[in-house]
């Protein structure tokens, strides 16, 4: 079981967790940058922002514009925004029904290992998925977590299972990751599809991987799933994997802390 951070530290650190609710991408990105600046200045502790986004397609540093399959004009007609961002990765979609997590952590105080950090974010989503009886996994050379349709056929008869395996689809992506690290402070993060409108992934080549589809917890379970069923598990497993004690706070409380931190940063010593 992956516990790379918890076992590497004798002292449990606190991490503030703030649920922003449904928020536009630009607003969340601006807030994220403020938290990152304060964290770099050591004027604030580690923070995990959770949110849902209004429909938006984002392109990472390594993204290719041809992976956006429609014009920006058509996106506007459909009420979908488009942003180029500083995260790693290619093109992805965010929207209602998806839990987006932005961990802003000082890895210099944890472990300076980018690969370990990304694998740990995957581990959080894998453990959350397991709570719903679904086995998600990693794929070599591909960031994120994936689910194979055959995972849902093993309880059927052997003859039906063998047939299902022959017709097995390629694994579908349930959770995506795209991060940015500067001076060992992390930003951006993960997106976990709970009840996401998967049709919007048809507007792009998700994460630049042709021939692969996105899936959602709702699709896999065949029932409606509320984000309130999922967020507590994300907080619990994030704490466990990273060795944090999570401390809840409202957006207003976070902004108060940021204002104090920013005054400390700007006032000469």
pLDDT confidence of residue 63: 60
Pick from 147, 137, 156: nearest CA to 221: 147
Domains parsed from the chain with CATH numbers: 9-266 (3.30.930.10)
- DSSP one-letter string for 193-236: ESS--GGGGGGB-GGG-TT--B--HHHHHTS---GGGTHHHHHH
Instruction: Quote the pLDDT of residue 133.
Output: 97
Contact 234, 124 (CB under 8 A): yes
Span 13-33, pLDDT tens digits: 899 999 999 999 999 999 999
Q: What is the pTM of this model?
A: 0.86
- The backbone torsions φ and ψ at residue 51, rounded to the nearest 5 degrees and listed phi first, read -165, 170
* Residue ranges for the chain with pLDDT beneath 70: 1-12, 63-67, 69, 149-168, 205-211, 267-269
Left (φ > 0), alpha (ψ -120 to 50) or beta: where does 133 sit?
Answer: left
Between CA 33 and CA 50 the distance in angstroms is: 15
116 belongs to the catalytic site:
no
* Gap between the Cα atoms of 163 and 79, Å rounded: 41
Query: What pLDDT sits at residue 65?
Result: 64
């Amino acid at each position: 079981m992956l516990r790379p951070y918890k076992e590497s530290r004798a002292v449990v650190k606190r991490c503030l967790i703030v649920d922003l609710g449904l928020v536009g991408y630009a607003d969340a990105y601006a807030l994220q940058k403020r938290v990152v600046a304060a964290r770099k200045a050591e004027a604030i502790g580690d923070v995990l922002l959770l949110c849902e986004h209004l429909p938006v397609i984002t392109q990472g540093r390594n993204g290719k514009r041809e992976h956006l399959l429609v014009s920006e004009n058509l996106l506007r007609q459909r009420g979908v925004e488009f942003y180029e961002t500083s995260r790693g990765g290619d093109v992805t979609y965010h929207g209602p029904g998806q839990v987006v997590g932005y961990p802003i952590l000082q890895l210099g105080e944890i472990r300076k290992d980018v690969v370990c950090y990304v694998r740990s974010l995957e581990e959080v989503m894998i453990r959350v998925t397991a709570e719903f009886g679904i086995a998600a996994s990693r794929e070599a050379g591909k960031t994120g977590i994936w689910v194979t349709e055959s995972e849902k056929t093993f309880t059927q008869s052997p003859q039906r299972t063998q047939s299902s395996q022959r017709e097995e689809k390629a694994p579908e992506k349930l959770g995506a990751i795209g991060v940015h690290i500067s001076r060992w402070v992390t930003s951006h993060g993960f997106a976990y599809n709970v009840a996401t409108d998967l049709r919007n992934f048809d507007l792009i080549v998700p994460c630049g991987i042709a021939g692969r589809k996105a899936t959602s917890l709702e699709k896999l379970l065949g029932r409606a799933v509320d984000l309130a069923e999922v967020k507590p598990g994300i907080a619990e497993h994030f704490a466990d994997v990273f060795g944090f004690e999570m401390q809840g706070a409202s957006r207003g409380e976070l902004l108060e802390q940021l204002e104090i931190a920013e005054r400390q940063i700007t006032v000469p010593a």
